């Protein structure tokens, strides 16, 4: 068969342009993916290095160096030590559970309180004393600006008097306070993007405001709530300053343990890497599973 | 890796433990007799055996090793405490989690103690940077929530001075054999108003560690490691641009950690300054005892700052030294083969041979800190052209203290002191001095070189390493730091001003020193000048 | 400013006097209980009474009860209006009780001379702290640095926008790239400081240093000079937070109706022109939100600096928060440290109010 259709010159030029465009896009994507992922890869591989491997700056396991469970051994999480009783592992797991309980509880609480407030602010006009809606919004958001140092000593004293020091509930309350503004900010945009006709129709059908909110609005706003929840989780999971200040034995969380990997002996890169990695693993899992909700959730209210 | 050696040690530990359990089963009184009558040979045997866990060259010890050592060293506890005596008692222990050392070790050590006595210990682990603020906040807001605390002697002014500690019972003194402590850790250190509060678990001083392969015939650093700061600087300049004989990387001379470290970084400037500033005629070298006027801007200190600035200007430090954490300088640079010499606490020595990080184990040598060829007499206001050595006994070591929260409850008090005494025991301390623990030798019995040789250390290495510590402890002109409240505030603000000076933001070393002095005056006024003067004099024994 | 409710509801409240009465009863009853418990505990704290309270929990519980009754009473007394208030009231009460009380105490501390090591404790010193702040070069230097750090947001925004556009293009493996781009946001600042700030930039073995050497920079130094150190800190902070702006912008891009872009294409707008004339204006509102939230996070920048440089060399990388941390934690100078933080807070609030007003006015014509 002879070729009947010949690409014209303009077509070819178009093709070439399209092709270079593709190359540029994928090149840029790959470059940034590398920038974003390499440190995480570096952390993971470092946790399997021995001192000479670290000093050599070895990059690729099995090629540059022989992986060793050194970092995980120090946590009692390597194959050799997993069977033995380990005080370090017990400590790690205890803190892990505390971090989990505290960050999840605080985030859920913040999303509940924040969604309610954001809905109210997006639908009704209030007047508390001299404050109108925009003032109330700013009042909430200003909490986000508050430097933690201002609250440190007052909270220490307050919590001592209320017997909330070193308690999970104490940290949960405080963390809820710190992430509430960001939840309100996100959810306000969410609700603003949902047309009020939906609820009006429901109200005509005889539902109360709360009924309409719970059955009509919430399901639509769910992706936004998941997005807010994930952001809250990230912020509370990694919080260090108050965790170091207000906990001691029963409610202590992981970030303080990560920070403890340094000291007068320099730093053991392998155990630092292992601990860092174990600490970010839950967030990575969450990121992979729930990622699409974040975009979806933020999209709803993004463009008014 | 020497799995063979480790296995042997582990087996011996097992038989030993079974033996101990057998003894304990005979009942309290008999057991106590057994302990008291224990022949000296048995104890030597125990000391030799714990040193084999996990063995020199077998890598860093793990939790299983700590528990094993803790188990084997329970003897003195069993002599004073019946099995299960503290059942139901809960104690809170606050200390550092310093890179998986300190508290992490204590947890392993005390696990067998908990199993034997029935007490339970809750742990507060703090990163080193959080330690001082947490302690100060707890004291100031009345939120002291710990019964036992690991604490450095400099904080005794903040705690014992405010009546927050429980005085040590006499039986503890006997159990830990406190007579064995080296001279400078004997009272007044650890005491306040004549009462003893401290179970010492660490001795601290800075000593010089240097690379022997830099010095000798035809070596790049000259014939031998210089003994005076003036020559140390000359050496640093000389090796610049040469190649390190061990690693083949660029060679560097003396390593000064230049970055702040929550106050701890100031000790390294002190190492240089004490040689110029600590005149044998007076114990004071940081403040004038009668007025608390800072001496830090006198010509001696300015000379020390100038020395560092000279090296910095000449590019004699590795790149980014100005931002290298002091810990990184010691453990990532020196132990990893960068730099000819460093002044550091003694744990560089034990780590040189046992830590996973170290590559310099075979070529490291030790000495007391360099001296100076002249010394400044602050009282006379003039330099004296005499040679002066003044080892810096930086930080005075960690100790374990018991707080007054347990004072009212005799059972709890005994439990707290028993736990603390277990950590300060004579045998366990030998292990801590020999292996990576964050602690260094502090007892006369640690200087028995035969034990170290038996553990697999090279005799010459150990004599060199331990000798530098012993000579610093016993030096007649050793520089002792003041145990006054807020001492780390002074150090911390000095670090900030020094950083500005090293970054070239002040015109000269003198201006930098003046800025430190001004900041120190402010702190003294804020804390209260009269009380500081009184405490400073007391801490110097004046 | 909207004057009425967006959601118009016909209310037909028939609130019986009994119901309103019950509402008032539980409201005032719980207030009374709270005051009573509070009074009793105050008396005990003052040493006038011995009631066996070991802590202030009873007051806390009665406070919580009072708050709950206040919410319930709103509905009982005000019916439909109360139900509306009920949306916002819990959050307001929560923030008020948790932030305002400590904040007032914080203000008291700010005007005190309180060095934790001082045996004298806390003492009022009026405006001394303000005067000290006025003459504190470290603080003003840190404020100056903050301006630099804040300006870096513009570069971050450009990159984030570019990434969002890339992710919004017709590409394969979109899910993979989205997750990959998002991950840096998840990492804890402490881990970032150590694994990137210290390990990867390590002069001898760090991969970044080795890359720099391979690219011809013989003696790489990332923290040696003030400018370089500041730039490195900016880059690390940008690495963490670019994903945050990126997802907001990507969400915005995906919400743009496809018809609009199609229409633009029909009109002959292509490439850059389509972007500037159609996409970018539509993205303004979400951009402003993203920039403002990012600015707030940036103003709190501290963890990375504390861990990596401690503000060095010579304060070149100090952020206000990292400097306050040193004053506050390392030197236990809590009175002065708190004052600095509060002054900073005032600065930020004024700036944010201004920016919000500005953004409001700027965006108005478009919406």
In chain A, which residue's Cα lies nearest the Cα of C347? A145
Q: Specify the pLDDT at position B17.
A: 40
Measured between alpha carbons, how far is A110 from A91 in angstroms, rounded to an integer? 28
In chain C, which residue's Cα lies nearest the Cα of A58? C205
- For chain A, positions 182-211, list CB contacts with chain B under 8 A: none
Kindly indicate whether the domain formed by A87-302 is annotated with CATH number 1.10.3720.10: yes
In chain B, which residue's Cα lies nearest the Cα of C308? B323
Measured between alpha carbons, how far is C362 from C367 in angstroms, rounded to an integer? 10
User: Of the candidates A110, A116, A294, A297, which has an alpha carbon nearest to the alpha carbon of residue A214?
Assistant: A116
Indicate the domain borders of chain C.
17-110, 130-366
**Look-up of token digits 């930086």:** B394
Each residue of A49-64: pLDDT tens digit?
Answer: 887 777 777 788 888 8
Q: What percent of chain B has pLDDT over 90?
A: 51
Q: Specify the pLDDT at position C10.
A: 57
Of the partner residues B67, B127, B357, the one whose CB lies closest to the CB of residue A259: B127
How far does C292 lie from chain B, in Å, by closest CA? Answer: 32
- Average of pLDDT values for B12-32? 40
Q: Specify the pLDDT at position B18.
A: 42
- For chain A, positions 90-119, list CB contacts with chain B under 8 A: 91
Q: Is the pLDDT of residue C218 over 50?
A: yes
Chain B residues within 8 A of A51 when measuring between CB atoms: 336, 355-359
Tell me the pairing of strands B148-152 and B375-377.
Answer: unpaired
Q: Specify the pLDDT at position C76.
A: 87
Architecture of B207-390+476-540 per CATH?
3-Layer(aba) Sandwich (3.40)
CB pairs under 8 A between A and C: 299
Measured between alpha carbons, how far is B171 from C299 in angstroms, rounded to an integer? 56
Q: Specify the pLDDT at position A303.
A: 44
Measured between alpha carbons, how far is A303 from C284 in angstroms, rounded to an integer? 9
CB neighbour class for C97 (10 Å; exposed up to 12, middle 13-18, buried from 19)? middle
Q: Which of B50-59, B294-303, B358-367 has the lowest mean pLDDT?
A: B50-59
- Average of pLDDT values for B109-114? 94
Pair C292, C356: CB distance under 8 Å: yes
Q: Is B149 helix (H, G, I), strand (E, B) or coil?
A: strand
User: Of the candidates A165, C303, C301, which has an alpha carbon nearest to the alpha carbon of residue B127?
Assistant: C303
Tell me the pairing of strands B398-402 and B199-200.
Answer: antiparallel
In terms of pLDDT, which residue wins out, B6 or B525? B525
Q: Specify the pLDDT at position A8.
A: 67
- Average of pLDDT values for A215-223? 86
Complex prediction ipTM: 0.86
Q: Bridge partners of B377?
A: B382
Query: Within an 8 Å CB–CB cutoff, is residue A268 touching chain B?
Result: yes
Q: Specify the pLDDT at position B204.
A: 86
Q: What percent of chain B has pLDDT over 70?
A: 91
Q: Is the pLDDT of residue A115 over 90?
A: yes
Pair A145, C349: CB distance under 8 Å: yes
Kindly indicate whether the domain formed by B76-204+396-447 is annotated with CATH number 3.20.20.70: no
Q: Specify the pLDDT at position A34.
A: 93
In chain C, which residue's Cα lies nearest the Cα of B260? C310
Measured between alpha carbons, how far is C7 from B292 in angstroms, rounded to an integer? 71
Q: Is the pLDDT of residue A300 over 80?
A: no
**Hey, how many other C-beta atoms are within 10 angstroms of the C-beta on B219?**
17
Q: Provide the whole-model pTM.
A: 0.84
B321 DSSP 8-state letter: G
- Among B126-135, C197-206, C330-339, which range has the highest average pLDDT? C330-339
Q: Specify the pLDDT at position B101.
A: 80
Query: Within an 8 Å CB–CB cutoff, is residue A136 touching chain B?
Result: no
Residue A127, Ramachandran bin (φ over 0: left; ψ between -120 and 50: alpha; else beta): beta
Q: What percent of chain A has pLDDT over 90?
A: 20
The contacts of residue B334 (CB under 8 Å, 6+ apart) are B209, B255, B342, B344, B348, B360
Q: Is the pLDDT of residue A197 over 90?
A: no
Measured between alpha carbons, how far is A32 from A21 in angstroms, rounded to an integer? 17
CB neighbour class for B88 (10 Å; exposed up to 12, middle 13-18, buried from 19)? exposed
Chain A residues within 8 A of B62 when measuring between CB atoms: 73-74, 76, 81
pLDDT band at C142 (very low <50, low <70, confident <90, very high): very high
Hey, CA dihedral for B125, B127, B132, B134, is it positive or negative?
A: negative
B195 DSSP 8-state letter: E
- How many helices, marked H, and strands, marked E, lie in chain B? 21, 14
How far does A72 lie from chain C, in Å, by closest CA? Answer: 16
Q: Specify the pLDDT at position A158.
A: 87
Q: With CB atoms and an 8 Å threshold, state whether B94 touches A263.
A: no
Measured between alpha carbons, how far is C81 from C20 in angstroms, rounded to an integer? 13
Residue in C140, C202, C227, C314 to test binding to B, most B beta-carbons within 10 Å = C314
Q: With CB atoms and an 8 Å threshold, state whether A264 touches B137.
A: no
Query: 3.30.390.30, 1.10.3720.10, 3.40.190.10, 2.30.40.10: which CATH number matches C130-366?
Result: 1.10.3720.10
Q: Is the pLDDT of residue C345 over 50?
A: yes
How far does C252 lie from chain A, in Å, by closest CA? Answer: 5
CA atoms within 13 A on the CB side of B250: 14
In terms of pLDDT, which residue wins out, A294 or B171? B171
Q: Is the pLDDT of residue C70 over 60?
A: yes
- Average of pLDDT values for A128-153? 82
Each residue of C221-276: pLDDT tens digit?
Answer: 888 888 899 999 999 999 999 998 998 888 888 878 777 777 777 776 667 777 88
Of the partner residues B63, B128, B143, the one whose CB lies closest to the CB of residue A263: B128
Chain C residues within 8 A of A213 when measuring between CB atoms: 87
Q: Is the pLDDT of residue C361 over 90?
A: no
- Average of pLDDT values for B188-211? 89
Q: Specify the pLDDT at position B443.
A: 92
Each residue of A162-177: pLDDT tens digit?
Answer: 888 889 999 999 999 9
Average pLDDT of chain B is: 86
Residue B442 has φ and ψ, to the nearest 5°, of -145, 5
Of the partner residues C90, C109, C247, the one whose CB lies closest to the CB of residue A153: C109
Each residue of A202-218: pLDDT tens digit?
Answer: 888 888 888 888 888 88
User: Of the candidates B11, B177, B153, which has an alpha carbon nearest to the alpha carbon of residue B79?
Assistant: B177
Chain C residues within 8 A of B261 when measuring between CB atoms: 310
Planar angle of CA A261, A263, A266, nearest 5 degrees: 90
How far does B485 lie from chain C, in Å, by closest CA? Answer: 6
Each residue of C79-109: pLDDT tens digit?
Answer: 888 888 889 999 999 998 888 888 888 888 8
Q: Is the pLDDT of residue C204 over 50?
A: yes
Q: Specify the pLDDT at position B30.
A: 37
In chain B, which residue's Cα lies nearest the Cα of C311? B496
Q: Is the pLDDT of residue A302 over 80?
A: no
Residue B196 has φ and ψ, to the nearest 5°, of -90, 135
Q: Specify the pLDDT at position B1.
A: 28
Q: Which of A115-124, B518-527, C218-227 has the lowest mean pLDDT?
A: C218-227
Query: Within an 8 Å CB–CB cutoff, is residue C8 touching chain A?
Result: yes
Tell me the pairing of strands B148-152 and B90-96.
Answer: parallel
Query: Within an 8 Å CB–CB cutoff, is residue B127 touching chain C?
Result: no
Each residue of A79-92: pLDDT tens digit?
Answer: 877 777 777 888 88
**Look-up of token digits 């490291």:** B364
- Among B74-83, B322-331, B358-367, which range has the highest average pLDDT? B74-83
In terms of pLDDT, which residue wins out, A304 or A138? A138
In chain A, which residue's Cα lies nearest the Cα of B94? A248
Q: Is the pLDDT of residue C138 over 50?
A: yes
Q: How far is CA B517 from the centre of its chain?
A: 27
- The DSSP secondary structure of B171-193, one letter per residue, reads HHHHHTTGGGB-GGGSTTTTEET
How far does B23 lie from chain C, in Å, by closest CA? Answer: 45
Q: In what order do the strands lie in the sheet with B199-200?
A: B120-126, B90-96, B148-152, B398-402, B199-200
Indicate the domain borders of chain A.
9-73, 87-302
Of the partner residues B130, B322, B488, the one whose CB lies closest to the CB of residue C224: B322
- For chain C, positions 146-205, list CB contacts with chain A under 8 A: 162-163, 166-167, 169, 171, 175-192, 194-196, 198-200, 202, 204-205
Q: Specify the pLDDT at position A265.
A: 62
Each residue of B133-192: pLDDT tens digit?
Answer: 888 888 888 888 899 999 988 888 888 888 899 999 999 999 999 889 988 888 878 888
Q: With CB atoms and an 8 Å threshold, state whether B132 touches C330.
A: yes
Residue B438, Ramachandran bin (φ over 0: left; ψ between -120 and 50: alpha; else beta): left
Q: With CB atoms and an 8 Å threshold, state whether B492 touches C224.
A: no
Of the partner residues B63, B96, B102, the one whose CB lies closest to the CB of residue A87: B63
In terms of pLDDT, which residue wins out, C223 or C155? C155
Q: Is the pLDDT of residue A116 over 70?
A: yes
How far does B291 lie from chain A, in Å, by closest CA? Answer: 33
Q: Specify the pLDDT at position B208.
A: 95
How far does A8 lie from chain B, in Å, by closest CA? Answer: 60
In chain A, which residue's Cα lies nearest the Cα of B133? A245
Each residue of C115-136: pLDDT tens digit?
Answer: 888 777 788 888 888 888 888 8
- Among B95-99, B386-390, C268-272, C294-298, which range has the highest average pLDDT? B386-390
Chain B residues within 8 A of C199 when measuring between CB atoms: none
Indicate the domain borders of chain B.
76-204+396-447, 207-390+476-540
In terms of pLDDT, which residue wins out, C296 or B22? C296
The contacts of residue A56 (CB under 8 Å, 6+ apart) are A64, A65, C205
Q: With CB atoms and an 8 Å threshold, state whether C179 touches A291.
A: yes
Q: Specify the pLDDT at position B6.
A: 33
The contacts of residue C201 (CB under 8 Å, 6+ apart) are C208, C209, C222, C223, C232
Q: With CB atoms and an 8 Å threshold, state whether A85 touches B332.
A: no
Measured between alpha carbons, how far is B443 from B183 in angstroms, rounded to an integer? 9
């Amino acid at each position: 068969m002879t070729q009947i259709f010949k690409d014209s010159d303009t077509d070819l030029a178009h093709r070439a342009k399209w092709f270079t465009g593709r190359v540029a896009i994928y090149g840029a994507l790959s470059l940034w993916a590398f920038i974003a992922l390499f440190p995480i890869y570096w952390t993971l591989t470092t946790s399997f290095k021995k001192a000479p491997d670290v000093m050599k700056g070895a990059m690729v396991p099995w090629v540059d160096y022989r992986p060793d469970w050194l970092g995980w051994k120090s946590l009692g999480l390597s194959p050799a030590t997993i069977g033995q009783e380990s005080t370090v592992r017990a400590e790690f797991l205890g803190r892990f559970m505390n971090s989990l309980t505290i960050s999840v509880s605080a985030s859920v609480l913040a999303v509940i309180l924040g969604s309610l407030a954001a809905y109210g602010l997006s639908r009704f006009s209030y007047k508390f004393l001299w404050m109108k809606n925009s003032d109330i919004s700013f009042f909430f958001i200003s909490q986000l600006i508050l430097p933690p140092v201002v609250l440190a000593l007052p909270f220490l004293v307050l919590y001592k008097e209320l017997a909330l020091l070193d308690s999970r509930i104490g940290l949960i309350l405080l963390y809820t306070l710190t992430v509430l503004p960001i939840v309100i900010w996100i959810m306000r945009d969410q609700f603003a993007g949902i047309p009020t006709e939906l609820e009006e129709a429901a109200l005509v059908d005889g539902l109360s405001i709360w009924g309409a909110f719970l059955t009509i609005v919430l399901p639509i706003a769910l992706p936004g709530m998941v997005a807010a929840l994930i952001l809250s989780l990230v912020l509370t999971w990694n919080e260090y300053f108050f965790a170091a200040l207000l906990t001691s034995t029963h409610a202590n969380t992981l970030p303080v343990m990560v920070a403890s990997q340094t000291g007068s002996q320099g730093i053991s890169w392998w155990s630092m890497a292992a601990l860092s990695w174990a600490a970010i693993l839950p967030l990575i899992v969450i990121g992979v599973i729930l990622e699409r909700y974040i975009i979806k959730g933020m999209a709803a209210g993004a463009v008014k | 890796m020497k799995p063979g050696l480790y296995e042997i040690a582990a087996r011996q530990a097992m038989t030993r433990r079974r033996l101990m359990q057998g003894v304990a089963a005979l009942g309290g009184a008999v057991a106590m007799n057994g302990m008291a009558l224990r022949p000296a040979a048995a104890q030597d045997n125990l000391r030799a055996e714990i040193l084999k866990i996990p063995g020199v060259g077998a890598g860093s010890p793990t939790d299983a090793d700590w528990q094993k050592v803790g188990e084997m060293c329970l003897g003195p506890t069993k002599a004073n405490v019946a099995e299960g005596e503290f059942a139901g008692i809960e104690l809170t222990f606050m200390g550092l989690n310093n890179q998986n050392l300190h508290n992490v070790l204590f947890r392993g050590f005390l696990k067998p103690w908990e199993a034997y006595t029935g007490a339970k210990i809750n742990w507060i682990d703090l990163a080193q940077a959080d330690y001082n603020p947490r302690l100060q906040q707890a004291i100031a807001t009345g939120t002291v929530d710990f019964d036992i605390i690991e604490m450095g002697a400099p904080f005794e002014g903040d705690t014992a001075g405010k009546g927050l500690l429980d005085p040590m019972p006499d039986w503890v003194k006997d159990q830990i054999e406190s007579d064995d402590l080296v001279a400078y850790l004997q009272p007044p250190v650890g005491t306040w108003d004549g009462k003893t509060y401290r179970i010492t678990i660490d001795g601290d001083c800075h000593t010089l560690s240097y690379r022997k392969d830099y010095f000798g015939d035809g070596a790049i650093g000259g014939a031998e490691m210089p003994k005076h700061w003036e020559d140390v600087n000359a050496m640093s300049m000389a090796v610049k641009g040469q190649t390190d004989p061990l690693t083949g990387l660029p060679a560097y001379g003396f390593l000064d950690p230049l970055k702040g470290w929550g106050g701890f970084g100031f000790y390294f400037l002190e190492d240089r300054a004490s040689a110029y500033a600590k005149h044998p005629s007076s114990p004071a070298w940081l403040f004038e005892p009668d007025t608390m006027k800072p001496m830090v801007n006198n010509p001696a200190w300015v000379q020390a700052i100038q020395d560092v600035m000279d090296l910095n200007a000449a590019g004699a430090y590795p790149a980014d030294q100005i931002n290298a954490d002091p810990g990184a300088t010691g453990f990532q640079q020196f132990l990893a083969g960068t730099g000819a010499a460093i002044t550091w606490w003694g744990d560089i020595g034990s780590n040189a041979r046992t830590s996973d990080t170290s590559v310099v184990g075979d070529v490291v040598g030790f000495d007391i800190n360099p001296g100076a060829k002249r010394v400044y007499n602050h009282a006379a206001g003039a330099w004296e052209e005499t040679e002066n050595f003044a080892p810096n006994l930086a930080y005075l070591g960690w100790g374990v203290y018991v707080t007054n929260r347990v004072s009212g409850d005799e059972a709890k008090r005994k439990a707290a002191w028993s736990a603390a005494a277990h950590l300060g025991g004579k045998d366990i301390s030998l292990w801590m001095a020999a292996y990576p623990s964050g602690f260094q030798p502090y007892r006369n019995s640690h200087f028995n070189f035969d034990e170290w040789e038996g553990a697999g250390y090279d005799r010459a290495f150990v004599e060199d390493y331990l000798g530098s510590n012993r000579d610093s402890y016993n030096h007649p002109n050793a520089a002792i730091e003041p145990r006054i409240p807020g001492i780390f505030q002074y150090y911390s603000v000095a670090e900030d001003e020094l950083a500005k000076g090293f970054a070239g933001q002040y015109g000269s070393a003198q201006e930098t020193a003046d800025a430190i002095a001004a900041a120190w005056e402010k702190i003294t006024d804020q804390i209260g000048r009269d009380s500081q003067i009184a405490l400073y004099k007391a801490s110097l024994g004046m | 400013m909207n004057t009425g409710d967006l959601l118009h509801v016909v209310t037909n409240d028939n609130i019986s006097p009994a119901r309103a009465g019950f509402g008032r009863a539980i409201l005032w009853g719980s207030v009374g209980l709270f005051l009573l418990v509070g009074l009793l505990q105050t008396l005990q704290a003052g040493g006038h009474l011995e009631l066996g309270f070991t802590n202030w929990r009873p007051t806390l519980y009665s406070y919580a009860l009072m708050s709950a009754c206040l919410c319930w009473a709103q509905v009982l007394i005000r019916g439909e209006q109360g139900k509306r208030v009920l949306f916002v009231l819990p959050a307001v009460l929560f923030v008020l009780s948790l932030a305002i009380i400590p904040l007032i105490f914080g203000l008291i501390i700010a005007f005190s001379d309180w060095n934790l090591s001082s045996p004298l404790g806390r003492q009022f010193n009026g405006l001394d702290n303000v005067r000290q702040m006025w003459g504190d070069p470290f603080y003003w230097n840190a404020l100056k640095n903050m301006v630099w750090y804040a300006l870096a947001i513009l570069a971050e925004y450009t990159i984030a926008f570019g990434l969002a556009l890339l992710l919004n293009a017709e590409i394969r493996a979109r899910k993979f790239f989205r997750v990959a781009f998002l991950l840096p946001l998840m990492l804890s600042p402490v881990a970032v400081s150590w694994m990137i700030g210290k390990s990867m930039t390590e002069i001898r073995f760090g991969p970044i240093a080795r890359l720099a050497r391979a690219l011809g920079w013989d003696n790489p130094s990332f923290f040696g000079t003030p400018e370089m150190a500041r730039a490195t800190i900016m880059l690390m902070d940008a690495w963490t937070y670019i994903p945050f702006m990126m997802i907001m912008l990507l969400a915005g891009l995906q919400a743009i109706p496809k018809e609009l872009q199609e229409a633009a294409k029909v009109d002959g707008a292509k490439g850059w022109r389509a972007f500037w004339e159609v996409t970018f204006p539509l993205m303004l509102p979400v951009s402003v939100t993203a920039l403002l939230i990012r600015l707030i996070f940036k103003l709190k920048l501290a963890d990375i600096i504390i861990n990596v440089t401690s503000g060095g060399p010579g304060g070149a990388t100090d952020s206000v928060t990292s400097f306050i941390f040193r004053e506050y934690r390392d030197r236990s100078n809590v009175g002065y440290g708190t004052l600095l933080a509060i002054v900073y807070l005032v600065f930020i609030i004024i700036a944010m109010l201004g920016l919000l007003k500005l953004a409001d006015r700027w965006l108005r014509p478009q919406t």
